[in-house]
Structure 1
Amino acid sequence: MRTVRALLTVRDAMENAPLGNKVQADIDLLLQHASVARGVVDAATLPSVSDLLGLDITQHPLASRIVLWRGDITSLKVDAIVNAANSGLLGCFRPNHPCIDNVIHAAAGPRLRDDCVLIRRAQQYQPEPNGTARATRAYNLPSRFVLHTVGPAIERGRDVTPRDDADLISSYRSCLQCASELPDSRSIALCCVSTGVFGFPAARGARIAVATVLEFLANNPTLDRVVFNVFRPEDEELYIAALRRAFGLPLDAPAVSNGQPDVAFNAKLSKATQWLRDADYVLIAGGAGLSAAAGLDYNDRALFKRLFPAMAARGHRCMYEFIGFTNWTPELQWGYLLSQLDKARYNWPLSSVYGNLLAIAQSRAAEHHFVLTSNADGMFERNGFDKTRVYTAQGEYGRMQCLKPCTQQVWPTRPLIDAALPFVDPATQEITNADVVPRCPNCGGPVMMNVRGGNWFIDQPYRELRAAFHNWLKSTRDKRLVVIEVGAGFNTPMVVRYPCEDAVEHNPQARFIRINTEHSEVPSSLTNRSVSFDQDATTVLERLRAGLNLV
């Protein structure tokens, strides 16, 4: 599907002949199937801002006509959606670029660009000015129309001017007016115009959007529902703040629904809990953020200074900087690494984060769960997980190998730690007895932990589990699979993050729970089958476990 979308993205509708009817019909069928897989969200069923903020609609009647919703705009069943276009008005030509222009064109199909070409011809190919709105049909989207508007672009280093503000106001106002004039149109979903790749300050943009919508609705009864559509959690927070300000509420007051605090968080917890109750299979996936949630944060400078004061005195700052580090003697290298492995791999305290994941895993038969992790610290095994159900894709700190390697042999790390630690000088972190510095038992050369750090990595110990994991994942196709991914970011996204997304993408029955304090966003194609949390994993997993009534 990504390849098809990429090819359609680069297609030049102005230069190329129109697609044939058969090709177009096949593309429509494919995109309609993708739309069904994404799911359709009826804007009429979404709670209004009056529900979100606990407003009395007799005092604030406009709040009942406004919705704030975080999700994929291409899944909304609404009369019109807004596209933040560029002045060329033909969409984005960069394959898989995450801008909303690309997302909307990819989901609607190539006829959307063909409609835009007609508009360009009618205006003699002049650039589309800022602040207008042009309507096209929506084709394979659940909406009926797409409104294309060009907002202000703020180049890096340039201040926002009053003209920029006026252009953004005009964009929103033009879209609202256009939607109100379309046949049988009563609803519109507004994206965050200009605040993404176009550089307009997000908080300022939210305030302008809210003020413009309220002014329009106060003077125009045509539109029953205006949806502020956001994609990122931080944008959702900015719109909540802008709405509070507009309706005269304290900025630090929690969002409420019928008097209940933390409605958005609780709603996501409720949905995730129900998915887990209904699940046939559960995939638990963990990245570096999971170990960090258990206290083993490789970027924590205070932790590093407390655990390794001699290394901090040498000018080092955190454990992460030693990944691939080579500028040290063997005595210092192994005095530090073996000490770090002793703490991280074998003696780190058991964690409630892993304990809650274990409870979720053990709530179903062993063959109905699996673990995928990029972490080599053995935390899953130490916290009670069956090691035959844990695929450590990046290797394991509990094994050593030759750095050449001279053979495919690996050997346990623990005996090397036990032999070396008595000779580690705490004042310098160096090993004082050269005989206990680890060497390859076969060739006498340098060694390294058996982790994926280069083409020297020996992956033979992991092949059986890798095959078992992939076979298990295949067996979950078209079954109710829930993927719980914790702390997987973009250092090595191809190990955990992307495979989790792909597992959900290729299984229409799958659901996705992403827990990540820094990168909680999910692909637009998965929004309606996902919940994402930017809260800490400890809090989220405790609440999920409690919701499932697991001991």
Structure 2
Amino acid sequence: MYSKTKTTSSIETCSSELDALKQALSQADAVVVGAGSGLSTAAGYTYTGERFERLFPDFISAYGFTDMYSAGFYPYATPEEQWAFWSRYIYWNRYVPMPTDLYERLRHLVEKKDYFVLTTNVDHCFQRAGFDKKRLFYTQGDYGLWQCSVPCHAETYDNEAIVKEMVAQQADRKVPAGLIPHCPKCGAPMTMNLRSDDTFVQDAGWYAAAERYDHFVQAHQKGHVLYLELGVGYNTPGIIKYPFWQKTFSNGDALYACVNAGQTAVPKEIAGRSLCIQADLADVVRTLGQA
């Protein structure tokens, strides 16, 4: 079913594929960027190793956590401790300056094209890097938003001010009880606006972005469309990967390009109109940006 034709394993060995991708970017009538967690990892948002150990030494010492992601699911005994962890998690992954300029480099590659970004990332990096917010669809939520945990209504709330206050005032792995957020309508605890179960709130902004994305892809069913998939794995392939394959198959002039540090593959039906580059994303974007 799958082909690994045209797949390379490092930036040094994929010059022909990179040249082909440069040409595809230059000639594309439209570019649809599909971005997964691998892109943010390449930008410096690592959730394990040195960065995790530097930002969460107290939680690691107390619970033996090995990574930031799994620590977010731990059943903390009190909301004061839960929000001490999550406020720090949000702060470092959403509000501090980005570790590298990868997203800005990516913007320079597409900003003069007719483009749209579909992403499962929730760190808001695209908008922070200057991408047009009307050309972005964050399908899985945003670290910068809270929602009612019930939820009793379909609204989300900006959390920047309270998160920064929590980070400033936390001590002994706890935030002051007075900072714990509650729903302004029903009084239930607030929670992150992240898609993890059927309580995820799709607010008015979510639906507006979904509609803009749908209009974009409907307007570009024909012509030289580049479906550029960056750092997308197989956690939620039905959001980006499979639709990109299907749209490429349906449009004989489209090209599918997959760039990932890990596994890359493509269905045999579109192998002749696909580029799969297994290499460091930061290196690839940097190379594509060179004259």
Superposition TM-score, scaled by structure 1 size: 0.50
- Quote the residue 1:404 is aligned against: 150
Q: Using the alignment, how far apart are the partners of 1:352 and 1:411 within structure 2?
A: 28
Q: Does 1:442 align with 2:185?
A: yes
Deviations 1:121-166 (A, max 9, x none): xxxxxxxxxxxxxxxxxxxxxxxxxxxxxxxxxxxxxxxxxxxxxx
- Equivalent pair of 1:324/1:453 in contact (CA under 8 Å): no
- Quote the residue 1:451 is aligned against: 194
In the alignment, which of 35, 53, 57 is matched to residue 305 of structure 1? 53
- Quote the residue 2:244 is aligned against: 500
- Shift in alpha-carbon separation, 1:424–1:515, aligned structure 2, 3 A: same
- Equivalent pair of 1:282/1:483 in contact (CA under 8 Å): yes
- Shift in alpha-carbon separation, 1:496–1:307, aligned structure 2, 3 A: same
- Equivalent pair of 2:45/2:99 in contact (CA under 8 Å): no
RMSD: 2.1
- Equivalent pair of 2:146/2:193 in contact (CA under 8 Å): yes
List aligned pairs for 1:79-478, cutoff 5 A: 98=1, 231=5, 233=7, 262=12, 264-298=13-47, 300-314=48-62, 315-349=64-98, 351-364=100-113, 368-425=114-171, 428-431=172-175, 433-460=176-203, 461-478=205-222
- Equivalent pair of 2:2/2:266 in contact (CA under 8 Å): no
- Quote the residue 1:484 is aligned against: 228
- Equivalent pair of 1:401/1:449 in contact (CA under 8 Å): yes
Aligned partner of residue 494 in structure 1, secondary structure? coil
Deviation at 1:429, TM superposition (A): 2.3
Deviation at 1:394, TM superposition (A): 0.5
Aligned partner of residue 157 in structure 2, secondary structure? strand
Deviation at 1:232, TM superposition (A): 8.3
Aligned partner of residue 40 in structure 2, secondary structure? helix
Q: Please say which structure displays the higher CA radius of gyration.
A: 1
Q: Does 1:524 align with 2:272?
A: no
Q: Using the alignment, how far apart are the partners of 1:326 and 1:498 within structure 2?
A: 34
Deviations 1:469-514 (A, max 9, x none): 0110111111111121111001111222222222222221111121
- Equivalent pair of 2:6/2:275 in contact (CA under 8 Å): no
Deviation at 1:341, TM superposition (A): 0.8
Aligned partner of residue 229 in structure 2, secondary structure? strand
Where relative contact order (Cα < 8 A, 6+ residues apart) is larger, the structure is 2
- Quote the residue 1:151 is aligned against: none
Amino acid in the other structure paired with 2:180: V
Q: Using the alignment, how far apart are the partners of 1:390 and 1:313 within structure 2?
A: 39
Deviation at 1:337, TM superposition (A): 0.6
Aligned partner of residue 282 in structure 1, secondary structure? strand
Amino acid in the other structure paired with 1:380: F
Deviation at 1:319, TM superposition (A): 1.1
Aligned partner of residue 34 in structure 2, secondary structure? strand
Aligned partner of residue 14 in structure 2, secondary structure? helix
- Equivalent pair of 2:36/2:230 in contact (CA under 8 Å): yes
User: Unpaired runs of 5+ in structure 1?
Assistant: 1-97, 101-229, 238-253, 255-260
List aligned pairs for 1:4-19, cutoff 5 A: none
- Shift in alpha-carbon separation, 1:414–1:498, aligned structure 2, 3 A: same
Q: Using the alignment, how far apart are the partners of 1:492 and 1:329 within structure 2?
A: 31
Deviation at 1:99, TM superposition (A): 7.4
- Shift in alpha-carbon separation, 1:325–1:494, aligned structure 2, 3 A: farther
Aligned partner of residue 196 in structure 2, secondary structure? coil
- Quote the residue 2:280 is aligned against: 536
- Shift in alpha-carbon separation, 1:332–1:232, aligned structure 2, 3 A: farther
Deviation at 1:350, TM superposition (A): 5.4
The aligned length equals 289
Amino acid in the other structure paired with 1:280: D
User: Unpaired runs of 5+ in structure 2?
Assistant: none
Q: Using the alignment, how far apart are the partners of 1:318 and 1:357 within structure 2?
A: 27
- Equivalent pair of 2:6/2:277 in contact (CA under 8 Å): no
- Equivalent pair of 2:134/2:212 in contact (CA under 8 Å): no
Q: Using the alignment, how far apart are the partners of 2:2 and 2:180 within structure 1?
A: 52
- Equivalent pair of 1:396/1:450 in contact (CA under 8 Å): yes
